[in-house]
Amino acid sequence: MIFNLIEELGLNGHLTISKVYRDGNEEVVFDDHNIIVSGMGVALAHMFAVSGSDSILDYQIDRFQVGTGGGVVREVSSTFDLSSPLSSLAEYGVNSDVLATSAYQLKNESIVASPAVYGIIPQQYVTRIDSNTVRYTIVLDELACNELQRSGSDAPLNEIGLFVKNIKGNATVAPILVAYRYFNNIYKTNNFSLVFRWSINF
């Protein structure tokens, strides 16, 4: 039923990723569709059935995760989480403009036992393009997510996900993944910002 709801509503999306350098030059490094995952259907089903939170704010796409474990194997509708999301506030950049927070996650209708780290999408970075399309702009500035390490080696960013805030309306905030995309390896440094422009057609 969840997948049928997504198909019936015709939900789809597109992601563009750009490197923006200090001199203002912008280089598009990725431009492709994304996957709307089953969590979107779960979120919409809760909202339409009035079976979850009674606050519309809890159904907003207001946070994201980036990670280092992306791969085509996760490009499926049944994806519930990132393969290897950044796991600390420090990795998102202590001195960066990225607002990061800790919260739990809703996965398979259950709240996972350990909290995760999410970047917050500022409201001014959410733009209605037309009557059916909303663009979410995520900026990892020059001080964000730099020189990541995994097992003593440099680690690239190569996956990203969008999350709806808290469909259950519980006191324990538990976002749910609603869109996912892996992309080619990007080794983030302080030489550039990464700008993700993610459009979702509702």
pLDDT digits (tens, 9 = 90+) for 12-25: 889 999 999 999 99
Q: Would you place residue 78 in the very low, low, confident or very high pLDDT band (cuts 50, 70, 90)?
A: confident
**Cα–Cα dist 16/197, whole Å:** 5
Q: 24: helix, coil or strand?
A: coil
In single-letter form, the type of residue at position 112 comes to V
Buried b (16+ CB within 10 A) or exposed e, 73-105: ebbebebbbbbbbbeeeebbbeebebebeebbb
Residue 176 lies in a domain: yes
Q: How far apart are CA 74 and CA 154, in angstroms?
A: 22
Q: Residue 35: pLDDT band by 50, 70, 90 thresholds?
A: confident
Q: Which amino acid is at 126?
A: V
202 domain residue, yes or no: no
- The answer to the question of residue 92 being in a domain is yes
Q: Is residue 168 part of a domain?
A: yes
Structural domain includes residue 15: no
Domain limits for position 118: 38-197
Segment 162-190, tens digit of pLDDT: 999 999 998 889 999 999 999 999 999 99
Tell me if 24 is assigned to some domain: no
- The domain total for the chain is 1
Q: pTM to 2 decimals?
A: 0.92
